[in-house]
Amino acid sequence: MAALAHHHRVLSFTSFATPRTHLPCASSSSPPTHASSLEELSRSCTTWSWRGMRVNYLVRGEGPPVLLVHGFGASVAHWRRNIGVLSESNTVYAIDLLGFGASDKPAGFSYTMETWAELILEFLDEVVKRPTVLVGNSVGSLACVIAASDSTRDLVRGLVLLNCSGGMNNKAIVDDWRIKLLLPLLWLIDFLLKQKSIASALFGRVKERENLKNILMSVYGNKEAVDDELVEIIRGPADTEGALDAFVSTVTGPPGPSPIALMPTIKIPVLVLWGDEDPFTPIDGPVGKYFSGLPSELSNVRLYMLAGVGHCPHDDRPDLVHEKLLPWLASLPSAAEPEVAVA
């Protein structure tokens, strides 16, 4: 059942990459088929201070800027198959959202979709300083939607959504009859996860390599993409301080704004790519149905279904994603430089 699989997501993508010593990034001359190694990506990362917290990010290449925003439990490294290709004609930024990857996981912090959207906008304003195309996967897509709808300046010039999530967790899609049937169970799970001993035991079980690999196999359409490196990208050492608290806060917190309510407010060009074998946000679910009908409602939206692809199209079948994404990026009109805020 898709609803069960969707809830399984929040119990599975629970790991965070190891913080490493960050060095300034280097330019890439990788061929389109090259997948960056974890070590290479780590060496290319640096940090930005946001409200007193460290945010890990990578920058590579030259050209119009693109910001890559990962999904739940992932990190910069989940774009390993895309950064080299995109950086041939763009300045590529990839960011670890607060609570994930090598970014800080502050004690007692309440994670929300709105906070991640604020982080994205302030990153564009303070670091990128140019109109940028946002590319997100899963909850990263939703964070990008919120950021684009909230932007009062010309910080965002385009939006790319890869299997956009309906919310930070299952509370967002209660209109789905399958979720309604499971609501008592979901409330119980929320209660149990707030008991630290129970949450810790579950967290430890899910991050076991074999369990995680089995989950990823069910999420990816292309099983060959589920390699040991991917397992490590998602798993990492989950005993990083604050990782468990971030997991619990994300799973049990408010779902955040709905993309269904926000998309009509967005006037910039939008590209939607959707893997048709996604068990987390299935095309026949409320969010999938909404996005599949969106091009007939909004002239700025273009949609492509990707056959045989799961929840993470960019890593599952990067060739299919690049086939649609690269021409779309090249077709965007040049953007005027935004005014730099004066302190």
Q: If DSSP codes are grouped into helix, strand and coil, which group holds residue 69?
A: strand
pLDDT bracket for residue 181 (50, 70, 90):
low
- CA distances in angstroms from 17 to 3, 58, 95, 267, 272, listed in the order given: 27, 14, 12, 35, 28
* Helical pair 177-193 and 2-10, crossing angle rounded to 10 deg: 20
pLDDT at residue 241 is higher than 80: no
| CA 228-235-35 angle, 5° bins | 45
What number of other Cβ atoms are within 10 A of residue 343's Cβ?
3
Question: What mean pLDDT comes out for the span 160-167?
Answer: 95
pLDDT of amino acid 277: 97
Question: What mean pLDDT comes out for the span 220-239?
Answer: 86
Question: To the nearest 10°, the Cα dihedral for 235, 107, 199, 277?
Answer: -40
Report CA torsion sign: 203, 244, 233, 146: positive
- What kind and span of H or E run contains 184? helix 177-193
Contacts of 173 (CB under 8 A, 6+ apart): 6, 166, 167, 179, 285, 286, 287
CA–CA gap between residue 246 and residue 242 (Å, rounded): 6
**Domain extents in the chain:** 2-331
| Residue 334 DSSP label | P
CA–CA gap between residue 246 and residue 199 (Å, rounded): 11
- For the purposes of burial, counting CB atoms within 10 Å of the CB of 283, is it exposed (0-12), middle (13-18) or buried (19 or more)? middle
pLDDT of amino acid 276: 97
pLDDT of amino acid 30: 33
User: Nearest Cα to 310, choosing from 342, 274, 338?
Assistant: 274
pLDDT bracket for residue 185 (50, 70, 90):
low
Average confidence score pLDDT of the chain: 82
> Percentage of the chain surpassing pLDDT 90?
59
pLDDT at residue 274 is higher than 90: yes
User: Nearest Cα to 73, choosing from 100, 43, 110, 41?
Assistant: 100
pLDDT of amino acid 128: 98
Indicate the CATH number for domain 2-331.
Answer: 3.40.50.1820
pLDDT at residue 171 is higher than 70: no
Strands 301-306 and 132-137, sheet pairing: unpaired
Higher-confidence position of 333 and 133:
133
Higher-confidence position of 168 and 39:
39
pLDDT at residue 152 is higher than 90: no
Strands 45-50 and 53-60, sheet pairing: antiparallel
pLDDT of amino acid 43: 87
